[in-house]
Amino acid sequence: MRYYKCLKDLGVNPWPYLGLGLTLIVFIHPGRFSVSFDHHVIQEEDLIPSLVALPDEGQVQSKCPLNLEHLAHPGFKSFPVEQGGGWNPPDCIPRFHSVLVIPYRDRPENLQQFLAFMHPFLQRQNLSYDIFVIEQAPGMAFNRAKLFNIGFREALKATSEAYCFIFHDVDLLPMDRRNIYACTRQPRHMTSHLDKFRYNLPYPQLFGGGIAILKDQFQAVNGFSNRFFGWGGEDDDLSQNRVLASGYQICRFPSDINRYQMLSHRPAPRMADNYRKFKAAGGSDHDGMILSRDGLSDLMYTVLARTREELYTKILVDLSTSMQ
Ligand code: BGN
């Protein structure tokens, strides 16, 4: 009070300075919005044992070692991919197979950058993988979660060996070679430390960006909700109303491994209504009701085209129709 009076006597109004100080702390302090969250973080020495491998077919000697060397390691050249975006290590039996599902509309530069980066990244790890890009036809607001559900359904039709799904945004690139693109025993949040958030986790339950989940787990929670159009909430619904509510835990690799760079693009507008949907699904109705009737079980869409592009399989879908 005394200082305030002194400043006032000097004719200085302290409030703008205080405001400026707080603003500087919020914007300059690297730990802003940071949450220390160390539950279910898999330690680096446990990364490989935490993964779920393809069934062993007896030829253990010729199984591919997981290669976590840096991409820029001398001597690494990326291999040609099969038409349609699939790849298998050429000279060993893969231990892991992952299906990457990428929801997409109207961001050709991001898609090109993503594919150019991800193919060598995944090959370097010695995984076997497929990439499905699910494109939403123009018209309705973007429905990221429903596109993931469709990718899951379509990939299972195309790839009988699919047991591990990576649901991933097109604008996020992993920055650490140890970030293995295979499924862990529990659903994993991959993209927890983004450059956009100064490599801090904004809140502990965040499950957006990219996740790895086993087929059986995704089926057990009835997939994502189909009801979230526009930006926000569908990932919170999956983590809190479905995955955690069904008794699974969410795990993460350590924060220095989970680092991502976000490609630039116009931000999507936030949908106010999504907050209400998220809360409603977690409310009194949540004990299995919404879960059982909204998701993979009532998924309706029409496939307009299936194309095996050079670096990915594209499935163009219309969400406005009611065909299954
Ligand atoms: C949250 C969004 C998430 C998004 C993260 C990170 C909502 C719904 C409110 C319940 N959640 O605010 O969907 O992944 O930010 O950007 O908007």
What would the pLDDT profile of 147-195 be if each residue is shown by its tens digit? 999 999 999 999 888 999 999 999 999 999 899 999 999 999 999 999 9
% of the chain exceeding 70 in pLDDT:
85
Q: Which residue minimizes the CA distance to atom 8 of ligand 1?
A: 233
How far apart CA 13 and CA 226 sit, in angstroms, is 53
How far apart CA 174 and CA 210 sit, in angstroms, is 10
Q: What are 138-142's contacts with CB under 8 Å, separation 24+?
A: 138/105, 139/318, 139/319, 139/320, 140/229, 140/319, 140/320, 141/229, 141/230, 141/271, 142/103, 142/105, 142/229, 142/230, 142/231, 142/268
- Confirm or reject: Cβ of 210 under 6 Å from ligand 1: no
Which residue, among 113, 143, 182, has the nearest Cα to 190 in the 3D structure? 182
Distance 318 CA to ligand 1 centre (A): 25
What would the pLDDT profile of 39-93 be if each residue is shown by its tens digit? 689 998 899 899 999 987 656 667 888 877 665 555 566 778 888 999 999 888 8
Going through the chain in order, the beta strands assigned E by DSSP cover 97-104, 128-136, 164-168, 172-174, 188-189, 193-194, 210-214, 259-262, 302-308, 313-318
User: Does position 30 have pLDDT exceeding 60, yes or no?
Assistant: no
Distance 307 CA to ligand 1 centre (A): 32
- Confirm or reject: Cβ of 230 under 6 Å from ligand 1: no
- Confirm or reject: Cβ of 208 under 6 Å from ligand 1: yes
Mutate to test the pocket of ligand 1, among 236, 265, 275 (most ligand atoms within 8 A of CB): 236
**Token digits of residue 241:** 């109303």
Distances (CA, A) of 31 to 35, 172, 189, 200, 226: 8, 21, 20, 7, 35
pTM: 0.86
b/e sequence 305-320, b meaning 16+ C-beta within 10 Å: eeeeeebbbbbbbebe
Residue 243 carries which side chain, given as an amino acid letter? Answer: V
Q: Give domain limits for the chain.
A: 38-54+63-318
**Per-residue confidence band for 276, with pLDDT thresholds at 50, 70 and 90:** confident
Q: Which residue minimizes the CA distance to atom 2 of ligand 1?
A: 232
User: Does position 324 have pLDDT exceeding 50, yes or no?
Assistant: no
What would the pLDDT profile of 90-137 be if each residue is shown by its tens digit? 888 899 999 999 999 999 999 999 999 999 999 989 999 999 999 999
- Confirm or reject: Cβ of 278 under 6 Å from ligand 1: yes
Longest dimension (CA), the chain: 85
Fold observed for domain 38-54+63-318: Spore Coat Polysaccharide Biosynthesis Protein SpsA; Chain A (3.90.550)
